[in-house]
Amino acid sequence: MTTLGEVAAAANARLQGCDATTVITGVAPLNGAESGQISFLTHPRYRPFLAHTQAAAVILSPEDAAYCPVPALVATNPHVAYARAAALFVPTTRSHGGIHPTAWVDPSAQVAASAWIGPQCTVEAGAVVGEGVCVGPNCVIGEQTVVGAETRLVAQVTLCHRVHIGRRVLVHPGAVIGSDGFGLALGPDGRWVKVPQLGGVWVGDDVEIGANTTIDRGALEDTVIEEGVKLDNQIQIAHNVRVGAHSALAGCVGIAGSARIGRHCMLGGGVGVAGHLEIADRVQVTGMSLVARSIAEPGAYSSGLAVEPNRLWNKISARLRRLDELFRRVAALEKISKNGSI
């Protein structure tokens, strides 16, 4: 049982017109909340629903509190407050310790007594699984891989050899960490020669890695994901990349080899980053942008063109093909002008 006072404490919010002993059973959107549920207002688009909400209380900003017809939990940052409050209602999966009969654990592996190794899992030679780790079904933990305390591998996660996973890391289904980087050298006979990938992957504490995301091992040094990084689904991080602490990367981001992403950066969905580039701290790159050169200053960056009606886009495309011709004509006219001919 969770009371409104406990929700307010977790959200670091101020109660307004509330009975702190009111029992809260869950969270719901403004237009669907019922008695016993809390709701939230984090975007102006949803203000019209506030006047008619049936929620037991609403998490919102001081500016919106005056218009709230029901009790409120007032917070400077309602989005963060909501995230902390909602965490109280997430079903928790805690390790109960033990190894499922269908799992295979190499005798040289070290598995803490409080860790759980689920059905059909494999833990290879020299691996270390820390206290309170939960390894879901069909996961593979490779040779000499370390999994830090309280980490959870949800299901079908593959950690290849010599991977280091920090504490309290959450890895969603299908993620592959430590597969070979795409290292190839073109020989004189036109055939590709594989460059051995001798490094590993180092993942810091409190990282979250989305479903089907892949992080390649380094060629010589480790690929590094620093503490607090949040990776969405289907992201590709190539060998020797370094992602700075507390950065967030949305779905389908692709980062080529040896790129460096700063701390507290945000990359929108589908962003591509070319290899061997450096992005400064606190950079935001909007969705579907291509980063083709290093970014030295913090701020927001974009590339590409937004969607347009097809007929208009065809005209724009035709004009884009003529840009080089137009540039040359303008340059020629400027040259004539400077010579005094016109």
Residues classed as catalytic: 239
- How many Å apart are CA 216 and CA 22, to the nearest integer? 49
- How many Å apart are CA 237 and CA 177, to the nearest integer? 10
Amino acid at 295: I
What is the bridge-based pairing of β-strands 176-179 and 214-216? parallel
Question: What is the distance, to the nearest Å, from the Cα of residue 251 to the centroid of all Cα atoms in its chain?
Answer: 7
Output the furthest CA–CA distance in the chain (Å, rounded): 91
CA distances from 95 to 109, 206, 246 (A): 18, 17, 26
What is the bridge-based pairing of β-strands 14-16 and 72-74? antiparallel
Beta-carbon contacts of 93 under 8 Å, excluding residues fewer than 6 positions away, are 134, 152
